[in-house]
Amino acid sequence: MYQFNFQPVFDNLDLLLYGAWLTVRLSLMAMILGLIVSVLGAVAKTSGIRPLRWLIDVYVEVIRNTPFLVQIFFIFFGLPAAGISMSPNVAALVALVINVGAYGTEIIRAGIESIPQGQVEAGRALGLNPVQIFRYVILKPALRNIYPSLTSQFIYLMLTSSVVSVISANDLASAGADLNAQTFASFEIYLVLTILYFLLAFGFSTMFSAIRRIFFTYPAGR
């Protein structure tokens, strides 16, 4: 019968916690940059510039219809053939940003198109300039409408980041794999990794809920 032994995990818990911190840092950077890419992509896709819309459509369809593993392999192993070399951590960040940017573009595009045209015309009537209209009349209400879908995609991004360990990028999954190679306590290590990833997902979910209450909740009485 299998004898459970969590001692190797407890002895190296600091390595796993550091890996968890690296996952959090990588995920947050990818979320912030991915949000910027998503907003720019959504604006381009809803613009009247047909070549730009076609370019964004190609980008979105290619990313959404290919595996993330293939994408990260292409960036890390394929691009050096074209003279573009990256470290594992940079390649992991670029791959995550490109991936979440494609999904986020479609989510934010749907939010922008959900804003009634009458609200835009009301903003113009109030004398708002195009930047103010986009920021206050279009973008913020759009983000409020699609916030649950967008944050769910961000949490999925954090979980997907475990794949970056295949190119030796530093994260929680990589730390677990290194520890497993040293101790061979596979069950115990990956059980702890499962718990840590669950706690990270729960932590991100709690953070996003707090952000929604602060920035996207209407004042009482409205």
3-36 per-position pLDDT tens digit: 888 898 999 999 999 999 999 999 999 999 999 9
The end-to-end CA distance of the chain, in Å, is: 63
Read off the pLDDT band of 124 (50, 70, 90): confident
- Candidates 204, 199, 193; CA nearest to 162 is 193
Banded pLDDT at 219 (limits 50, 70, 90): low
How confident is the model over 164-171, as a mean pLDDT? 92
Query: Could you tell me which residues come within 8 angstroms of residue 79 by beta carbon, excluding any fewer than 6 positions away?
Result: 85, 86
143-154 pLDDT tens trace: 889 999 999 999
Quickly state the pLDDT bin for 218 (edges 50, 70, 90).
low
CA gap 222, 220 in Å, rounded? 6
- Annotated domain spans of the chain: 13-215
What is the average per-residue pLDDT within 175-203?
Answer: 94
pLDDT at 3: 82
Fold of 13-215: MetI-like fold (1.10.3720)
From the CA atom positions of the chain, what is the Rg in Å?
21
Helices (H), the chain: 7-11, 13-45, 50-64, 68-73, 88-113, 117-125, 130-132, 140-160, 172-183, 186-215
- Mean pLDDT, residues 58-63 taken together: 96
